[in-house]
Amino acid sequence: MSVLPQSVEKVINEFSKLPGVGPKTAARMVYHYLRSPNHDAKKLADSLNDMDENVMFCDKCFNVSDKKVCDICSSPLRKNSKICIVEESLDVIAFENSAVYDGLYFVLGGVISPAEGISADDLRFKDLKKRISELMESNEQVEIIVATNPSLEGEASASYIHDMFSKEVKEGTILITRLAMGLPTGADLEYADRLTLKRALEGRRNI
Ligand SMILES: [Zn+2]
C-alpha cells in the first residue's frame, strides 16, 4: 500500500523526469501545488496542454515555434547568407538575447555521441543539407557558422558538417567557420554571457 494517493505519486513521477530534479525536489514542487489556493495546478496543466497543442518545430530551422515557419526564418531583416548551426533551441535563445547575430539558425537536435548511442542518423543532417541548398539558390556564398558546444562531441559534429560540404568549400560556394574558443571547453553555449558570445562570434575561424 502506498502512503500517497496514486494521483499525487503520478505527478511526482512526472516532475522527477525534469533535468536537475530529483524525487525529493519533485515532491516539494508537488506539495507547493497541493497547498496553492490559486488553482495553480490547473493553470500549470492548462499551459502545458496549450504548449503541447500549439508549439511545433519550424519547418526550416527546427527551432520551437507556433508557426510552420518561425519569425526568424521569415524575417526580411535577417541575412540569409549566414546560418548558425546550434545543438538545441536554448542556444538560439542565448544568441538572440545577446543580439550579436543577424543571420539564420539551424537546430541540429543534439550532437554525435557514440558514448550515448547518438549517431549522425539521429540528428537533422539531411534537413540541414536541404536547407543549405535552399540558401545557396539565392547567395553566391553561404557561411555556415558551426556553434556546437566546445566539447568532444561538439567538435566531432563540426568535422562531420565540414566533411558533408567539403566539395562546396573547395569551390568557394560555402564557407564554414567555428566559434572562437572564448568559450571554455565543455562549457554550454546556453549559459554564455553576451560579451563571451560576441567575442566567440567575432573571432570565428575557418574550418
Ligand atoms: Zn525557423
CA 114 to centroid of ligand 1, rounded, Å: 28
DSSP 84-98: EEESSHHHHHHHHHH
Q: Domains plus CATH for the chain?
A: 6-54 (1.10.8.420), 57-206 (3.40.1360.10)
Output the CA 86–ligand 1 centroid distance in Å. Answer: 13
For residues 101 and 103, give the distance between their C-alpha atoms in angstroms, rounded to a whole number: 6
Residue pointed to by grid coordinates 560579451 = 195
Cell 519533485 found at: 26
**Distance in Å, CA 17 to ligand 1 centroid:** 28
Report the separation in Å between the CA atom of 71 and the middle of ligand 1, taken as the mean of its atom positions.
7
- Burial grade of 99 (CB within 10 A; 0-12, 13-18, 19 or more): exposed
CA of 38 to the centre of ligand 1 (A): 36
Strand-pairing partners, residue 64, are 57
Q: What distance in angstroms lies between residue 104's CA and the mean position of ligand 1's atoms? A: 8
- In the reported structure, the alpha carbon of residue 63 is separated from the centroid of ligand 1 by a whole-number distance in angstroms of 6
Of 196 and 134, the one with more pLDDT: 134
The set of cell numbers assigned to 97 is 538575447
Which element (helix H / strand E) includes 188? none
Give CA–CA dist 143/192, Å, rounded: 22
Centre of ligand 1 to C-alpha 35, Å, is 40
Reported as a single tens digit per residue, the pLDDT across 136-146 is: 999 999 999 99
Q: How far apart are CA 154 and CA 110, in angstroms?
A: 9
In the predicted model, is pLDDT for residue 104 greater than 80? yes
User: Half-sphere exposure of residue 57, counting CA atoms within 13 Å on the CB side?
Assistant: 14
Q: What is the pLDDT of residues 13-48, one digit of tens each?
A: 999 999 899 999 999 999 999 998 888 999 999 999
Pairing of strands 174-178, 142-146: parallel
Q: How far apart are CA 198 and CA 180, in angstroms?
A: 10
144-184: pLDDT as tens digits: 999 998 888 888 899 999 999 999 999 999 999 998 765 56
